[in-house]
Amino acid sequence: MNIQEDVVDHFIDLVLADRKEYVVGLDYYEVNFNNAIASDRLDASRRHWKHENRTEELGTEDAEVSEQVEAAVGSADPFDPEELDKKVYRLLLDDAIDSLPELQRRIVVMWREEIPIESSNPSVRSISEVLGKTPKTIAKYRDIAFESLRRRLEGKERV
């Protein structure tokens, strides 16, 4: 789905840019539309494959959460209700979540929707079930994502 969206977005960007001034890159679409779309699809699939699989090695079953990550996360809660009341903070938080690596972003989005990391009730879907990872791995990625969000939001607040 992400690949398809990238291809469509790239084409739309070219068309919109061409409305303002002549874009040479759009000529290839006019001459050989099917090949241009296929080429865009291949480029997008390579980008997404790299993006989705670059952290896959970290998800081993016996991976321990490093003490540095635990110490850095501390009590950081990017979803602090007091902070969420601030409109600017919510916008910055959404942008920061979107910039996370795909697996971390999916975990944070599901966690934000109050989907549990694990569930003993078979009728309740859990994050670990949906993503096919152990609850320990999900918790590790969640903590790393929270630390990353905390750092990004602290950097934005100083600006």
Residue for token pair 């989907």: 115
- The list of the chain residues with pLDDT below 50 reads 55-63, 158-159
Q: How many CB atoms lie within 10 A of CB 71?
A: 9
Instruction: Give Cβ neighbours of residue 134 (< 8 Å, ≥ 6 apart).
Output: 61, 128
* Closest among 2, 120, 100 to 110, alpha carbons compared: 100
| Angle, CA of 36, 39 and 41, to the nearest 5° | 110
* Closest among 101, 96, 97 to 55, alpha carbons compared: 101
Residue 90: which region, alpha, beta or left (left: phi > 0; alpha: psi -120 to 50)? alpha
Question: What one-character DSSP code corresponds to residue 104?
Answer: H
Q: Which long-range contacts (CB under 8 A, 24 or more apart) does 126-133 make?
A: 131/103, 131/106, 131/107, 133/59
pLDDT in tens, 54-70: 544 444 444 455 565 65
Q: Spell out the domain ranges in the chain.
A: 2-53, 61-158
Predicted local distance difference test score (pLDDT) of residue 97: 86
Angle between helices 2-20 and 33-53 (to 10 degrees): 130
Predicted local distance difference test score (pLDDT) of residue 42: 84
pLDDT in tens, 37-54: 888 888 888 777 766 665
Predicted local distance difference test score (pLDDT) of residue 70: 59
Predicted local distance difference test score (pLDDT) of residue 100: 86
Predicted local distance difference test score (pLDDT) of residue 67: 60
Predicted local distance difference test score (pLDDT) of residue 151: 83
User: Six-digit token pair at 19?
Assistant: 């409305």
